Structure 1
């Protein structure tokens, strides 16, 4: 039965993919209307640990990233941390000035769980943390900028990790209690909520390979448990909002998922479809598909692999029963983080540790050496992928509303950041092309607003539209050339010819 379902889905996907491939020149021709709709929202994104600093100020508790950077500095490329970062906790006035200058419609930022609950639990409620975010939200709204809030962007409270973190189902109730606090304090003004940012990017290195905090090495098991608990936590928070707050606050709740797009040199569209399911569908299918649950191809393949390993059941947790029904439909929009594309091909032999997510995926990803490459080794400019991905989401998930929460380019910090302009122009054109193709895309956010701490890359990768003087106590912000370019798009709602 599952083979028939896959054939039907791939057949639909072929209608999208046929005849389109990456040109390799980081440009994309416009089609249809040349202007964005008047109600389309342009903004920028950041996250708390990456910009706030003040890691232990005003009652804030430690997160797993505080502990990781302090105790394992060798794991950060430049041995730095987020203790001060861009100092946004102390200098939000500088952020606000730059946001006003950009003329953004929205600002997507995250709340630090350990500023609200220093120990992760309601018993440690910290009013100073609530006051800080109330001030941020109030100042944004006073300046005509809509707050778009992410609840969890990697910085798990240490005390929750001591209980098993995201591999313990206790996390579901802990997250719902935290979400309730946020809805109660900020929901009268915040109308767009994102529960989690990029779950796979947190679960796989955090609970699978152990590369990132909390450094749990439980490959092919812990990472899947983490993903399942995030899906359950997200759904529980979504239903809490709908039952307790929606009638008064009238906001919406979604989750940020990330994926590359995939191309096949051999036109193996079934493999492209499978790759999208393993990378996006692992979270999107349970929430946004009509059938719910994990993608059928993953369910069958991981069960087969698990039995071959001598296990009695699949390593992929079951989402059947009440959880399947609670998770399905628990998203008012899909928040999308997308940066780049890859070529995929079938692996001639098993890859990765046994077991592991990599071994289950068992696909080789490559890039074209002619694609323009950013400072980040993994990031190339392939704008066709953005357009194709949005069309895929339109057809696969009943044209759910899409809010693009991250898209951006890294360099070494140049003020004359011409390659970032080339990248942004082509990707924003891809978004407009997709809108002209009927895709329900309502917002776009550049990652990132300002240069920040880029996790294990430290401060070596610069993604910001604004440069931050990281050696000055004032942490001055300076607009790059791309900031002026992006402001022009926001003001005119058109993509300039540059």
Structure 2
């Protein structure tokens, strides 16, 4: 790897931190605000009607110890039954859109397109119609980690046929709802679909490093196949937009000696899932591809563990976007691992594959209740600028950004401070750096089932009483704050506590 390339990255990072310091607190008139959830985390009704089993249903029913409090999403927020209450909460907040996901086996019970559930079709149709009736635009994610277990039993995302399965599913969804939905996301956070899934951290709870890399290729092809279906069959009539939502930390070198490993870590975690789509060249990031080729050979593999794209596949994936979907929460420093050093929690994301250690800086510490969620607002601005630097002046929609706590306090000042500081950096990127950011999505509307943390972690702007079978919702101070920002299109909205 060329040191000059890494030095260039660092110089840009430092220049960005000094550029565009402005006082403007207002967002452009066309900027859109929204809130988000995902199906498994809120819906419940896991076996309602003829819904099929998904990988989280299967994993947590067979291995309940997988979750810290041994809970699951069988009922969760019960949004399957309480969806109208949720839509009223969203309308009260005055946001422009609601991002939610479709639970694949709720719509296609056996995973395949030959059988569509009338109940699933009705449920999502009612949800979409209800949003539109309230003047809220639906933003629909096709896949937020709810793979049908029937397809996992056939190899899941490591099976090349997963591309066809997903394309068929996407065509069904587009056929049902494209006349009412203008914005689509195909896959949520491909890195987490592929890496922790094959390191026994999230569903389906497998251990196979090669499977994680096979998944990387097939999930990108699946995204591209769905995009091309929409582009050719639906966009001429409805004119909507489709993209993928990638989760990206801001990475910076711990010291100047760690420049090269930082570039490689960025490539492995993030550019792996964006370069094939957004770059002019397409295919895998060149530095990562060369590294994986050499490492695989050194381990005795006859070919790279990161499977190559054919020229036809490169063209299929390249340009399969209408905007850049960005999930961002936190930042990390990167350094090279010492010989024999343990990788800690981030080995779950594959950083042991490249010999990188992720850490934090003391000043980024927070009381989020999650070790991984350190607070570094400047990271989102740096990241937005890097996307522009790498891929040109493309539209960027922030598809997730949010803060968690452990106690679920209604007077959630920490969440308000997080939103305010990160939104301020988004404004600086828009007005000072001229980055084309078109929207911001707060995660999350509700406290919900937070994967392996269960119900011990609270991301919601509305508290949910999970001890009450009625699952009552209560607005937190952050809900009032975000409502004021969304309606005013400004950060100049005063103070918000539980008392006001």
- Shorter-chain TM-score bucket reads over 0.9
What is the CA-CA distance between 1:30 and the residue it aligns to? 5.7
- Distance of aligned partners of 1:309 and 1:355 in 2 relative to their CA distance in 1, 3 Å threshold: farther
- Distance of aligned partners of 1:439 and 1:270 in 2 relative to their CA distance in 1, 3 Å threshold: farther
Q: Deviations over 1:406-458 (max 9, x none)?
A: 11000120100011111110001111111111111111011111000001110
Whether 2:419 is the aligned partner of 1:428: answer no
User: What value does the CA root-mean-square deviation take over the aligned residues?
Assistant: 2.1
SS in 2 for 1:431: helix
**C-alpha contact (below 8 Å) 2:351/2:357 kept by paired residues:** no
- C-alpha distance in 2 between matches for 1:30 and 1:490: 23
SS in 2 for 1:123: coil
Give 2:489's aligned residue. Answer: 493
Equivalent residue pairs, number: 487
**C-alpha contact (below 8 Å) 1:406/1:447 kept by paired residues:** yes
Give 1:188's aligned residue. Answer: 179
Whether 2:114 is the aligned partner of 1:93: answer no
- Distance of aligned partners of 1:270 and 1:434 in 2 relative to their CA distance in 1, 3 Å threshold: farther
Whether 2:282 is the aligned partner of 1:292: answer yes
Matches within 5 A, 1:113-262: 113-207=104-198, 209-219=199-209, 221-262=210-251
- C-alpha distance in 1 between matches for 2:16 and 2:228: 39
Runs of 4+ residues over 4 Å off in structure 1? 9-12, 19-22, 350-356
**C-alpha contact (below 8 Å) 1:351/1:362 kept by paired residues:** no
Counterpart among 484, 490, 497 of residue 480 in structure 2: 484
Give 1:324's aligned residue. Answer: 314
Matches within 5 A, 1:102-113: 102-113=93-104
Matches within 5 A, 1:381-392: 381-392=375-386
- C-alpha distance in 1 between matches for 2:23 and 2:223: 37
Q: Which runs of 5+ in 2 are unaligned?
A: 496-500
Q: Deviations over 1:61-95 (max 9, x none)?
A: 11010011111111110010101100000001110
**C-alpha contact (below 8 Å) 1:45/1:406 kept by paired residues:** yes
- Distance of aligned partners of 1:20 and 1:263 in 2 relative to their CA distance in 1, 3 Å threshold: farther
- C-alpha distance in 1 between matches for 2:348 and 2:63: 26
- C-alpha distance in 2 between matches for 1:156 and 1:249: 27
Q: Which runs of 5+ in 1 are unaligned?
A: 23-27
Matches within 5 A, 1:301-380: 301-349=291-339, 357-373=350-366, 374-380=368-374
Q: Deviations over 1:131-183 (max 9, x none)?
A: 11110001101111000000001111011011111100111111011000011
Matches within 5 A, 1:261-276: 261-267=250-256, 268-276=258-266
**C-alpha contact (below 8 Å) 1:302/1:360 kept by paired residues:** no
- Distance of aligned partners of 1:258 and 1:119 in 2 relative to their CA distance in 1, 3 Å threshold: same
Q: Deviations over 1:174-203 (max 9, x none)?
A: 101100001110001111110000011121
What is the CA-CA distance between 1:18 and the residue it aligns to? 2.1
- C-alpha distance in 2 between matches for 1:421 and 1:322: 47
What is the CA-CA distance between 1:350 and the residue it aligns to? 6.3
- C-alpha distance in 2 between matches for 1:355 and 1:50: 21
SS in 1 for 2:80: coil
Give 2:441's aligned residue. Answer: 445
**C-alpha contact (below 8 Å) 1:350/1:359 kept by paired residues:** no
What is the CA-CA distance between 1:469 and the residue it aligns to? 1.1
